[in-house]
Amino acid sequence: MSSKLEFFDFAAWTQFIPESEIRRLLRYDVPYYFAGGKPGAIPVDVFAKILIELGTEQLEKIKKGPEGKQEVIDEYNYGPTAGLRSFRETLAKYLREKDGIPLSKEDGWKEIVITTGSQQAIYTILDTLIDPGDAILTPAPVYLGFVTPAEKLGAKVICIPTDLNGIIPEYVEEALQAVEKSDEIKKPPEILYVIADSDNPKGTTLPTKRRKQLFDIAETWNLLIIEDAAYREIQFKNEKLPAIKSFDKENQRVAYLRTTSKEAAPFRVGYSVMPDALREQVIKDKGYLDLCTPSLIQKILNIYYANYLEKTLPEITKIYEKRCKAMCNAIDETFPEGERTNPTGGFFVWWQSKKMFDAKKFLEEVALPNQILYVPGHSFYPIRGYAYNPDTKRIEKSSPNINTMRLGFSYRDEKIIETGIKKLGKLLTEKLK
């Protein structure tokens, strides 16, 4: 009998879901890195101060003897699955005052769930709600970290057309009507996923009118909106638009997902507000995934959000704004005829060529040999999904726009961005002339 296992009986999803295109591209070390959305503005001096502050405080406790040492051990130890109360209280106050989220001053903290990144919140919500065959509505293109887990769990993803202002509410409603006549979709959708602020991958921001329209549609059609607000704090305009969650006064219709990974990189911690019944199931699911988010990281972030965020955020945002302008200007100067988005925040610009070409093939054959990385646009469409076609008013098989690319401006400084994008523009012009 062989002591070596000759084969594994892999789950079905492993056969059709490829490795994340973004994770794959992280292996490349190139000077002109415009691929994944790695934060490039990190307040390292502030975090150094916090670590010294926290370490000093804990050393003083240890000096007091066994009781003090035990207190520090407890601070480092496993914590509640939903997160530390002190951090949840800080975040509840922040969301109430800054985003207008209806959380009570007394016990609103109980509605906050801490996750290991908002990516975990996405997965646990989907894992909690999705059965094979369930339908989900998303923008097209859509964040890869949402659509792929949804497909893995057996969801039928229906893509809704977008424009330079994001997902189009009228098409959401028309798609819901079309599902009723579809032979392929057996159950009406119950989830709508959206990034309202500087979305990934396009960088578009929904106007206030569209946000309210989406909420009203959710009310009418009994949808749960998953509002992914990952880039909510990285906005270049002084005035924020209302979160969709702010319309959800009864906390019944919107799961509001936030993350520290953009304004407090490199600490990947998510925090969410969601309907009560869903929250309890998500906490249960999270408990089986990681037991709890590390307590020490929560303590560090609690200090940061309570004492430092409002001071550092304007500086961080200004850095990203300069990088965004550098990228957009270089695209406008050197790229061939096409259309780009005009981000008012976030990390990304989306570009679509007027002429048809394969952006993935171009990356492998031309851009990479020239030390340039971006993410081909096809990555942000479902592998086996559907799309609403406004012309036919029908749900059809989806297909990606292959002549598109997502360009990230978060990681490199303005000079490198300008040089790299102009180089890319020259290569594209030669290709598409």
Task: Convert the pLDDT of each residue in 161-218 to its tens digit.
Answer: 999 999 999 999 999 999 999 999 999 999 999 999 999 999 999 999 999 999 999 9
- Note the CATH architecture for domain 76-308: 3-Layer(aba) Sandwich (3.40)
Mean pLDDT value across residues 64-74: 94
The domain limits of the chain are 19-43+311-385+396-432, 76-308
The tokens describing 37, both together, are 């959305």
**pLDDT given at position 1:** 43
Read off the pTM: 0.95
Which string of DSSP letters, residue by residue, matches 278-341? Answer: HHHHHHHHHHHHTSS--HHHHHHHHHHHHHTHHHHHHHHHHHHHHHHHHHHHHHHHHS-SEEE-
> Per-residue b/e over 266-288, b at no fewer than 16 CB within 10 Å?
ebbbbbbbbbeebbeebbebbee
**pLDDT given at position 6:** 60
| Bridge partners of residue 340, in order along the sequence | 351
Mean pLDDT value across residues 391-400: 95
| Bridge partners of residue 375, in order along the sequence | 406
Compute, in degrees rounded to 10, the torsion defined by CA atoms 156, 161, 165, 168: -80
**pLDDT given at position 189:** 97
Could you report the per-residue pLDDT of 135-157, keeping only the tens digit for each? 999 999 999 999 999 999 999 99
**pLDDT given at position 7:** 62
Distance CA 119, CA 299 (A): 20
Whether the pLDDT of residue 14 is over 70: the answer is yes
**pLDDT given at position 265:** 80
3-class secondary structure, 44: helix
**pLDDT given at position 2:** 46
**pLDDT confidence of 267, banded at 50, 70, 90?**
confident
| Bridge partners of residue 191, in order along the sequence | 136, 224
3-class secondary structure, 416: helix
- Tell me if domain 19-43+311-385+396-432 and domain 76-308 are identical in fold: no
User: Percentage of residues in the chain with pLDDT exceeding 90?
Assistant: 88
Distance CA 173, CA 156 (A): 17
The tokens describing 52, both together, are 């010294």
Of 269, 228, 211, which is closest to residue 91 (Cα–Cα)?
269
**pLDDT confidence of 12, banded at 50, 70, 90?**
confident
Phi/psi of residue 249, each to 5°? -65, -30
Distance CA 201, CA 381 (A): 11
**pLDDT given at position 26:** 77
Distance CA 159, CA 135 (A): 10
Comparing 275 with 238, the larger pLDDT belongs to: 275
- Note the CATH architecture for domain 19-43+311-385+396-432: Alpha-Beta Complex (3.90)
